[in-house]
Structure 1
Amino acid sequence: MLGAIAGIWIGLLRVRLSKRHKSGSVSPYRGWMKWHHIIGLIGGLFLLTWVFSGWLSMSPWGGFRDGGGADIAERYAGDPSGFVPTDLPQLARVAQDAREVNFIYLGSTPVMIARGGPQDKILLDGATAQPAPIAQTRIEAIARAAVPNGRLVAAQRLDRYDRYWYGTGDPRSDARPLPVLRLVFDDPVQTWLHVDPATGALLEQMGSGSRTYRWLFAALHSFDLPWLLTWRPLRDGLMWLLSAAGLAISVTGIVIGWKRLRPAKRHR
């Protein structure tokens, strides 16, 4: 990061926009040095933000950890005292079209989620395999027990994506379904719980640190900006273009460095 900052600063000092150099160029360099100078001025800032956001992904000095994350998930599930025997014939009938069945706990209650597609999911009783719809009041009660050091101050049902619950348009990694229930707490880290209202499953938890990380990593590193997410081709094209600029900066820098380090030819 220090090298990128120094390079950008030197590049700005060397550029001339009004009074050009003798060659008529804004850059005093030629060859590889000129390519490195010009491309560095165009893409250097983005290269710096990528390095910075990638550094943050390594959680330096603890990163943006919210604290208590695993504990919240464990309390939300409750006491797993051993899954009850399941009526398998009934499960086969009810979930005959499902692609998978998840065995989980919700507030110490064993349940199953039969999934047949992104919007095709059924919550089943863990023992009888009968459909067991869950009310929002029950979800809120489980959430309150999971976050004992804060009050539930808001419960929002999201039918559209927003700045913190969003889809990238990539079907391979896009696991944020709609609608979703956002439960907001006033505990020390300002916890948000995102819960599937159809099954009660805890999908995500975010504290103030995670929300800051969303902007300093996802926005800077992956360009997950609200206006770019609505125009996926523009986002992808911009990523390709700036990635190519970053590659060019790196390649030209390596070539220039190699030439500087290579022993000079001796003249007889």
Structure 2
Amino acid sequence: MDALPDSLPDINSILVRLPESGKTIKKLSVRYFRGQTLFTVKTNDRAYTICSDTLKAVNPLTWESIEHTAKKWVDAPIIKIDTLTERDQWIMYSRYKAEMPIYKFYFNDKQKHQLYISSRTGEVQQFTDKGQRFRAFIGAIPHKFYIPAIRKNTKTWTTLLTIGGVIALIAALSGIYLGVYITYRKYKAKRRIGSPYKNYWYKWHHILGLIFGIFLATFAFSGAMALQRIPSWVIKTHGDYRVSSSQLRGKYLSADSYKLDYRILAKKYPDIKSIEWEHFQEVPIYNIVVGNKEIRIDASSSDVKELYLQPSVVEKAVQSIHKTSELMSTTLINEYDEYYLSKERSLPLPIYKIKVENADNSIYYINPKTGDFKYFNQSRKAKKWIFSGLHYLNIKWLVERPVLWTIAIWLLCLGGACVSFSGIWLGIKYMRRKIKSFF
């Protein structure tokens, strides 16, 4: 993105140019794009792009400007350009449909970068290199059935993931049962615990199955539940399963609520690239991009200061969702807990933890520097353990010991792989014998 220019107009001079006056403004932002200072204004019904220069219209998007954007990303020759009218492997989310057709640029550099640019807005949508694509092909894509023919239909994809997890769960549980039963029979006959098999493959499949079978079952169960909610008959949810950002942040504020003139930010931060008008309850906020970093600025006074929400503000936000009669407790935590946890330590600290004493035992984690939040109720807490806990070993005690976590995840994955591959090999050998018996 290009930096904003020094000279910027008064925001009211932009808003008066809207074709529809009096409408609630849901989004307002400014950036410098294709040689113009552009304001994006979104109301309930429409979105508008307005050029700051009243004498000029917004420049039409041309092929030259798209190509110029592409060349800024990679300093290497462009060897091929595709025009995509359907989503491919690397742009599978449904939001990409609105950007079609999308131009896909192939670069002749060592990393073999590929860049996707929208023909509608000229904005970059995706950026990959050969290393990322290779790791995805051997990891995330087969693991998550992330195949275009399947992923394009979200319902089909979700169903197949669930069915695959259930089949794996049945295989794991039946294997555990047989393994224990065979071991018990040997103990009953010879009063000695061990595998009764002499054959190398049978013996080690049996032993490894007894050791790692339970973890295969938990991986399968958590995989099957990955995109499913906990049924309400298992854990009843009394309030909303999800809480949206708009619910917590409250009603949109008028432009007059922003006491800090946004133009001051361009002088304070020379490398400022965009400004977006936000809010949290009655606190007006500027979300600015400076260099490669996002910063939230408190716009409730004429002084430039970074946002830091007070406890009373976040409590009011939570009260707006729940009944005021429900008791709450607010603490500022400086370390992760079981439901606010990140192995990469990417989640910010300190953060407000707000407990609501209601039937759902609701918990909110709200970042005072951004207003971003995470919400948990009884059902979502159970989902954390069933999916994140069992599937990724996202357990506080392990996450706080990264060496142990790494050893545990590799050991369980490799052990599970040995059980799976040995089982496949034994199945193939069995099928061979059956086929030979027919001829």
Matches of 1:98 and 1:20, distance apart in 2: 76
After superposition, residues 49-64 of structure 1 pair within 5 angstroms as: 49-59=218-228, 62=231
Aligned residue in 2 for 1:76: 248
Counterparts of 1:239 and 1:92, CA distance in 2: 47
On the 8 A contact 2:309/2:369 being kept in 1, the answer is yes
Q: Is the 8 A contact 2:242 2:375 kept in 1?
A: no
| Distance apart, 1:83 and its partner CA | 6.3
Query: Does residue 1:228 correspond to 2:398, yes or no?
Result: yes
Residues 3-30 of structure 1: CA distance to partner in whole angstroms, max 9, x if unpaired? 2112111111222469488xx9633241
Q: Structure 1 residue aligned with 2:180, among 5, 12, 20?
A: 12
Measure, in 2, the Cα distance between the counterparts of 1:9 and 1:253.
15
1:107 to 277, 281, 304: 281
Any idea what the Cα deviations from partners look like across 1:233-266, whole Å, max 9, x if unmatched? 1111111111011111111111111222234336
Q: By how many angstroms is 1:78 displaced? A: 1.4
**TM-score normalised to structure 1 length:** 0.80
Larger radius of gyration between Structure 1 and Structure 2: 2
Give the corresponding residue for 2:349: 178
- Give the distance between the partners of 2:303 and 2:197, measured in 1 at CA: 75
Instruction: Decide which moves more: 46-55 or 180-189.
Output: 180-189
TM-score, normalised via structure 2 length: 0.51
**Structure 1 range deviating more: 25-34 or 183-192:** 25-34
Partners in 2 of 1:108 and 1:12 — Cα distance? 62
Could you tell me which of 9, 29, 33 is aligned with 2:202? 33
What residue in structure 2 maps to residue 257 of structure 1? Answer: 427
In structure 2, which of residues 342, 348, 360 is the aligned counterpart of residue 167 of structure 1? Answer: 342
Paired with 1:61 and 1:136, the residues of 2 have a C-alpha distance of 32
Q: Which moved more, 1:133-142 or 1:146-155?
A: 146-155
Residues 31 and 216 of structure 1: CA distance in aligned 2, closer, same or farther (over 3 Å): same
In the TM superposition, residue 180 of structure 1 has moved relative to its aligned partner by 0.7
Secondary structure of residue in 2 paired with 1:47: helix
Deviations 1:129-184, CA, capped at 9 Å, x for gaps: 8336532212211221132376242111101222222231x2xxx44211110111
2:360 counterpart (165, 178, 189):
189
Distance in 2 (alpha carbons) for counterparts of 1:45 and 1:266? 35
Tell me how many residue pairs correspond in the alignment.
261
Structure that is richer in strand per residue: 2
Structure 1 unpaired stretches of 5+: none
Structure 2 letter corresponding to 1:153? M
Across the aligned residues of Structure 1 and Structure 2, the Cα RMSD in angstroms comes to 3.6
Tell me, in whole angstroms, the C-alpha distance in 2 between the residues paired with 1:218 and 1:26: 34
SS of alignment partner, residue 264 of structure 1: helix
Tell me if structure 1 keeps the 8 A contact 2:281–2:317. Answer: yes
Amino acid corresponding to residue 73 of structure 1 in structure 2: S
Residues 43-87 of structure 1, C-alpha deviations (whole Å, 9 max, x = no match)? 111101111111221316647795525455322121236767884
- Residue 429 of structure 2 aligns to a residue whose secondary structure is helix
Higher relative contact order (CA 8 A, sep 6+): 1
Match of 1:209 in 2: 379
Task: Give 1:138's aligned residue.
Answer: 313
Task: Encode CA deviations 1:202-247: one digit per residue, 9 max, x unaligned.
Answer: 3211111112222222221111222211210111111111101111
Change (3 A) 1:81 1:31: same
CA distance in 2, matches of 1:267, 1:49: 39
- Structure 2 regions of 5+ residues with no counterpart? 1-168
Identity %: 22
**SS of residue paired to 1:26:** coil
177 and 142 in structure 1: CA distance in 2 versus 1, 3 angstrom threshold: same
